[in-house]
Amino acid sequence: MAREAAACLVVLLTVHRLLHLSGVAAIDRGLFPPGFLFGTSTSAYQVEGGYLEGNKGLSNWDVFTHKQGTIVDGSNGDTADDHYHHYMEDIELMHSLGVNSYRFSISWARILPREQGRFGDVNPDGVAFYSSLIDNLLQKGIQPFVTLCHYDIPHELDKRYGGWLSPEIQKDFGYFAEICFKMFGDRVKFWATFNQPNLFIKFSYMVGWYSPGRCSEPFGNCKSGNSSIEPYIAGHNIILSHANAVSIYRNKYQGKQGGQIGIALCIIWYEPFRNTTADILAVKRALSFSAPWFLDPILLGDYPREMREVLGGRLPKFTSKQKKRLEATKLDFIGLNHYTTCYVKDCIFSQCEIDPINGDARVFSLVERDGVPIGKETGSPFFYDVPRGMEEAVMYYKQRYNNTPTYIPENGYSQASNSSMTAKDFTNDTRRINYISGYLTSLASAIRKGADVRGYFVWSLLDDFEWNSGYTSRFGLYHVDYKTLKRTPKLSADWYRKFLMGSPLRRKFRDESQLHQFTS
């Protein structure tokens, strides 16, 4: 009886909030399980700045952005949000939002800056920076969720042996990962080895938009590279680097530190362009070529069948020793970064133009059908607001990987920006609120259907350096004025704070850790 009354009150409160949010779908924190991580997301190169401070070494991105013509607005991450000096202020921003988790990455070149040989000395200043960040987060009740490699690696490794193209990097990555486990693992309970290698590898080695800018015709016009084989060689080394780091964690640290380790992939959702068998098979292929490129070897022991069939000799093979290593290490959680959905059509039975990103799956991707875009536009050309894609994608991966524990380390909305615009052009971001509430509603639906999702992070806490888009794309809940470094909350920051606070009733029960008894 008391239970029914409480449930009824919850419904009433939800309706009440719906009316007050005028047009924005009401989504309630109580729809997510107890202990769910709600956070904000960033990465080292995109926010830190301080690129020569604290004895940091040069990263591949420091070098890449300083070359002419690599970044659309000619910018770089030398200063970015200067989070290196503003991190205490940024922790306060997160605390005011009420998040219980923060996803960030560690700059490898800040921890291992020296050029004197492969296993260089640990930089105490770099360790001190992340240690202080972690301690201050924990003091505010914010769990660190740490990515070991979010695109930036020491430039030294690119120079020495071609970075991800060489198997030598597997040992170097293990060495770096072990330093992080040793230095921070007493306090960090969530580790992701990599951030969306299925995307950055293509941008780095297939089309040449990301460091080190390698590709070949017809995929792009680079000085050097080989688009048809290098992405798969780099991917192979990343999978084995992941296995090496996980193995070190499992054998030496996980027992006493008690954390979890996983990997984050980018998951675009695909829908058939036409309702034909060929396009439905094209969707299957596009999916197999995306996150399963990495997750199938890690969890199921080999590359997806569609990849092996289409790519043949272009795809490296795992030796039986490597397969044993993969089988023995696997992962504890998968991270699914999700932003958008597109249509794909078949290119085996029909002729297509070249699709530089998805074309290897013998598909062509589109964002419109009969002149109608797949969803509402965002500030990024290929990103559309298609909330149903979240549930569809999460359910697909739930099924493919036997409901492995899952986090959403990134989801967010971008606003197009240029240097003549000011904070007030960005702070009324009702479209971002609509986007986030729509995707959270869709995620809640997947959870209701049994998906074991344990956390969600908005990309991003702050407007930041968006790789080859420079500062032309703003994803932040907080606007950043890059001249003064002033942070200004957008309406979406207020919306997220209110969402996280929940209704007064929920707040009371949450504090007493009894909420789930009334909602289950």
Ligand X SMILES: *[C@@H]1O[C@H](CO)[C@@H](O)[C@H](O)[C@H]1NC(C)=O
Minimum CB distance to ligand X, residue 419 (Å): 7
Per-residue DSSP letter, 385:
E
SS (H, E, C) 274-310: CCCHHHHHHHHHHHHCCCHHHHHHHHHCCCCHHHHHH
Q: Go through 233-247 and write b for each residue having 16 or more CB atoms within 10 A of its CB, e for each that does not.
A: bbbbbbbbbbbbbbb
Minimum CB distance to ligand X, residue 276 (Å): 8
What Å distances lie between residue 266 and 130, 199, 438, CA to CA? 26, 6, 19
Minimum CB distance to ligand X, residue 433 (Å): 10
Judged by beta carbon, residue 20 or residue 448, the one nearer ligand X is 20
What Å distances lie between residue 98 and 183, 261, 337, CA to CA? 27, 25, 22
Judged by beta carbon, residue 226 or residue 257, the one nearer ligand X is 226
Judged by beta carbon, residue 195 or residue 216, the one nearer ligand X is 216
Judged by beta carbon, residue 333 or residue 495, the one nearer ligand X is 495
Residue 145 CB: number of other CB atoms within 10 A? 26
Minimum CB distance to ligand X, residue 421 (Å): 6
In angstroms, how far is CA 461 from the centroid of its own chain?
A: 13
Burial class (CB in 10 A: 0-12, 13-18, 19+), 175: middle
Q: How far apart are CA 150 and CA 477, in angstroms?
A: 20
Q: How far apart are CA 445 and CA 161, in angstroms?
A: 46
Q: How far apart are CA 111 and CA 54, in angstroms?
A: 10
SS (H, E, C) 101-160: EEEEECCHHHHCCCCCCCCCCCCHHHHHHHHHHHHHHHHCCCEEEEEEECCCCEHHHHHH
Q: How far apart are CA 330 and CA 455, in angstroms?
A: 20
Judged by beta carbon, residue 65 or residue 216, the one nearer ligand X is 216
Minimum CB distance to ligand X, residue 418 (Å): 4
Per-residue DSSP letter, 379:
S
Binding site for ligand X (CB under 6 A): 216, 226, 228-229, 275, 418, 420-421, 428, 430
Q: What is the dihedral of CA 449, 451, 452, 454, to 10 degrees?
A: -90
Q: What is the gyration radius of the CA atoms in the chain, in angstroms?
A: 22
Judged by beta carbon, residue 311 or residue 501, the one nearer ligand X is 311
Residue 178 falls in the annotated catalytic set: no
* Given 92, 410, 466, 512, the catalytic residue: 410
| Tokens representing residue 58 in the block | 């040069």
Judged by beta carbon, residue 226 or residue 404, the one nearer ligand X is 226
Minimum CB distance to ligand X, residue 432 (Å): 11
Judged by beta carbon, residue 112 or residue 207, the one nearer ligand X is 207
Minimum CB distance to ligand X, residue 448 (Å): 23
Closest CA to 202 of 214, 190, 194, 193: 214
Minimum CB distance to ligand X, residue 231 (Å): 11
Burial class (CB in 10 A: 0-12, 13-18, 19+), 209: buried
Residue 61, H or E segment: helix 60-65
Residues identified as active-site = 410
